[in-house]
Amino acid sequence: MIFACFFKALSQISDPRFRKVLMLGIGLTLVLLIAATAAFLMLIQWLAGDTTEVWLIGEVQWLDDLLGWTGFLAMFVLSIFLMVPVASAITSMFLDEVAQAVEDRHYPNLPPATRVSLWDATRDTVNFLGVLVGANLLALVLYAFVPPLMLFIFWGMNGYLLGHEYFQLAAMRRVGRTKARELRKANRGTIWLAGILMAVPLSIPLVNLLIPILGAATFTHVFHGLKNRTA
pLDDT tens per residue, range 138-178? 887 888 888 888 888 888 888 888 888 889 888 888 888 88
The pLDDT of residue 84:
59
Count H helices, E strands: the chain? 8, 2
Residue 133: CB partners within 8 Å, gap ≥ 6? 82, 85, 86, 89
Q: Which residues contact 187 (CB under 8 A, 6 or more apart)?
A: 226
State yes or no: pLDDT of 47 exceeds 70.
no
The CA-atom distances, in angstroms, between 88 and each of 29, 44, 63, 218 are: 9, 29, 37, 15
Number of domains in the chain: 1
Cα 88 to Cα 136: distance, rounded to the nearest angstrom: 13
**Element (DSSP H or E) covering residue 60:** strand 58-60
pLDDT band of residue 220 (cuts 50, 70, 90) is very high
The SS3 assignment for 54 reads strand
Q: Domain span at residue 220?
A: 2-230
Q: Which has more confidence, 68 or 197?
A: 197
Q: What tens digit of pLDDT does each residue of 74-100 get?
A: 555 555 556 556 666 666 667 788 888
Whole-angstrom distance, CA of residue 133 vs CA of residue 110: 35
For residue 31, the model assigns a pLDDT of 74
